[in-house]
């Protein structure tokens, strides 16, 4: 690998890292054909972890970080003075194939700054994916970023070669978009999401290959004044209307050469974490957006307790719950019990009566669960009425400084 290519890679990986999406999951199981390369297992694989704790699954790069747009939160906006570079289609293909052969990556995540026009940019992205699939018989994972301003037929062609497509919402309100991302159009973003959602669904029904791992999006947290409640309600609507697979919450992070409109400060990582937990509650724990909203304090999720615990503390009259009797839905509402723990409880109690020790073997969250649970040998002594319960269960403030 020559130095010029290495230098481009450094610039264009640095430029792509603020996109939180990393998943390589959701594609159907595939094997390479004779002479081809790559497979997908369905579950996704993280091939390394960087010191920020995030996984490296796909080669996540931009085709170029030259950009005509001027989105204030973005390191690549046209008014930023960062170093610029541009890959050729073949360079991206070579990097993907050679990295893949060495088992460094699951595939490619390709995005780009807008050069010349959204259509031109989208065409280049599609050419990379098409070359990988057709010339190299590449069966690994491909995630293409979709440019919502591109013509609808191009957006739809991307789905022929990509496993996952994503359009970033970036900011949850029309007003914030207007202020911080003047070239973007909230209506166009949602139209494109809707269009893609429709195509993906239709292809599934017709058993055609079209973005089989669905679509996802990203929202930046902390760049505008949106509350957690409004973010969660936006998410619920997106999951509902467009059948999104994932919404990524990305804590707004200081960037080199930041715009003056957004002062640089440490990213709100704990807030991001709580939003993911709230998102999970809606997707896997049957919480409604109203339930989540009910766990907030003037629209914001608590940072010292997780949203499920916050909800339980507000709804103490629904507890304690008998681990040997309660239905699955109610067990899912017990703080500290995850979906898998609940399923094991439901299976085990058919053949045994569960004591507190038994529950301890099924979850690592017993400390949080205990005040809300009744087991064969345990009944909380009015713990749910105690005023200091929250303080006893809260996490110590997380170490947010760096070391």
Partner 1 sequence: MQARTIRLRAGADLEGFRRAIRRLVAAGVTPEAVTWIAGEAASLFPEDDVGEPGPALALPRAVAALVPPVVLHRDPERYGLLHRLIWRVAQGERHLAEVASDPLVHRLALMRKAVGRDLHKMHAFLRFRRAGAGEAGRERFAAWFEPEHHILAEAAPFFAARFPSFDWSILTPDGSAHWDGNALCFGPPGRREDVPEHDSFEAGWTDYYSSTFNPARTNLAAMRAEMPKKYWHNMPETAAIPGLVREAGRRVGQMIERAPEAPVKRVPIRALAAMAAQEPDSLAALNAVIRASAPLVPGATQAVLGEGPPGAAIAFVGEQPGDQEDLQGRPFVGPAGQLLSRALREAGIDRDRAYLTNAVKHFKFEARGKRRIHQKPTAGEVAHYRWWLDRELAFVAPRLVVALGATAVLALSGRQVPITRARGPASFGEKPYRGFVTVHPSYLLRLPDDGRGEAYAAFVDDLRRAAALAADPLPA
Residue ranges in 10-49 that form contacts with partner 1 under rule CB under 8 A: 10-11, 13-14, 16-18, 31-39, 41, 45-49
- Distance of alpha carbon 96 from alpha carbon 199, whole angstroms: 27
Which residue, 49 or 284, is less far from partner 1 as judged by CB?
Answer: 49
Q: Which member of 28, 42, 101, 364 binds partner 1 (CB under 8 A)?
A: 101
Which member of 90, 198, 240, 395 binds partner 1 (CB under 8 A)?
198
Closest CB to partner 1 among 173 and 270? 270
Residues 188, 230, 243, 267: which binds partner 1 (CB under 8 A)?
267
Verify binding: residue 179, partner 1, rule CB under 8 A: no
Q: Does residue 85 interact with partner 1 by CB under 8 A?
A: no
- Give the separation between CA 64 and CA 84, rounded to whole angstroms: 8
- Decide if residue 217 touches partner 1 (CB under 8 A): no
Tokens (6 digits) for 127: 């050419």
324 binds partner 1 (CB under 8 A): no
The DSSP secondary structure of 186-225, one letter per residue, reads HHHHHHHHHHHHHHHHHHHHTT--S-TT-EEEEEEESSS-
d(CA 379, CA 367): 14
Interaction of residue 90 with partner 1, rule CB under 8 A? no
Residue 238 makes contact with partner 1 by CB under 8 A: no
Q: Which residue is associated with the tokens 């289609």?
A: 89
Choice from 256, 286, 339, 391 touching partner 1 (CB under 8 A): 256
* Residue number, 350 or 382, with CB nearest to partner 1: 350
| Tokens standing for residue 35 | 């002479």
User: Of 290 and 377, which has the nearer Cβ to partner 1?
Assistant: 377
Residues 349-378: x where in contact with partner 1 by CB under 8 A, - otherwise, as a string = -xxx-x---xx-xx----------------
* Neighbour-count burial for 22-53, b at 16+ CB within 10 Å, e otherwise: bbbbbbeebeeeeeebbebeeebeebeeeeee
- Residue 298 lies near partner 1 (rule: CB under 8 A): no
- Other C-beta atoms within 10 Å of 158: how many? 24
| Residue 359 falls in which region: left (phi positive, over 0), alpha (psi -120 to 50) or beta | alpha
DSSP for 148-197 reads: TTS-HHHHHHHHHH-SEEE---BSSSHHHHHHH-TT--HHHHHHHHHHHH
Please tell me the distance from the alpha carbon of residue 335 to that of residue 362, in angstroms, as a whole number. 14
Q: State which of residues 205, 317, 327, 388 lies at the interface with partner 1 (CB under 8 A).
A: 205
Would you give the binding string for partner 1 spanning residues 146-175, x where CB under 8 A is met?
A: -----xxx--xx--x---------------
Q: Which one of 214-222, 227-235, 346-354, 379-387 is the stretch in contact with partner 1 (CB under 8 A)?
A: 346-354
């Amino acid at each position: 690998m020559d130095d010029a290519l290495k230098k481009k890679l450094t610039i264009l990986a640095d430029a792509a890292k603020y996109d939180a999406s990393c998943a390589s999951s959701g594609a159907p199981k595939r094997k390479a054909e004779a002479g081809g390369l790559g497979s997908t297992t369905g579950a996704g694989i993280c091939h390394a972890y960087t010191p920020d704790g995030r996984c490296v699954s796909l080669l996540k790069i931009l085709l170029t970080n030259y950009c005509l747009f001027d989105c204030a939160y973005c390191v690549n906006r046209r008014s930023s003075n960062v170093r610029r570079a541009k890959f050729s289609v073949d360079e991206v293909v070579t990097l993907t194939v050679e990295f893949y052969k060495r088992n460094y990556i699951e595939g490619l995540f390709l995005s780009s700054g807008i050069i010349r026009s959204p259509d031109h940019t989208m065409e280049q992205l599609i050419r990379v994916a098409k070359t990988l699939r057709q010339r190299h018989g590449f069966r690994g994972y491909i995630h293409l970023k979709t440019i919502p301003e591109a013509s609808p037929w191009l957006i739809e062609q991307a789905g022929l070669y990509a496993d996952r497509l994503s359009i970033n919402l970036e900011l949850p309100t029309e007003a914030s978009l207007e202020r911080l991302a003047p070239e973007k159009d909230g209506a166009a973003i949602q139209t494109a999401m809707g269009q893609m959602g429709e195509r993906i669904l239709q292809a599934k029904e017709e058993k055609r290959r079209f973005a089989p791992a669905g679509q996802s999006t990203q929202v930046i947290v902390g760049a505008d004044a949106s509350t957690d409640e409004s973010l969660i309600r936006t998410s619920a609507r997106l999951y509902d209307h467009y059948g999104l697979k994932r919404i990524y919450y990305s804590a707004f992070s200081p960037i080199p050469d930041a715009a003056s409109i957004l002062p640089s400060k440490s990213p709100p990582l704990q807030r991001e974490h709580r939003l993911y937990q709230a998102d999970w509650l809606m997707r896997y724990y049957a919480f409604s957006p109203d339930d989540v909203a009910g766990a907030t304090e003037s629209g914001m999720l608590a940072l010292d307790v997780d949203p499920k615990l916050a909800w339980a503390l507000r709804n103490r009259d629904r507890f304690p719950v008998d681990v040997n009797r309660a239905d699955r839905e109610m067990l899912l509402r017990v703080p500290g019990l995850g979906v898998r723990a609940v399923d094991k409880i439901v299976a085990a109690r058919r053949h045994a009566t569960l004591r507190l020790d038994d529950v301890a073997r099924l979850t690592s969250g017993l400390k949080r669960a205990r005040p809300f649970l009744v087991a064969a040998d345990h009944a909380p002594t009015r713990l749910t009425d105690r005023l200091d319960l929250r303080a006893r269960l809260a996490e110590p403030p997380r170490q947010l400084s760096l070391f």
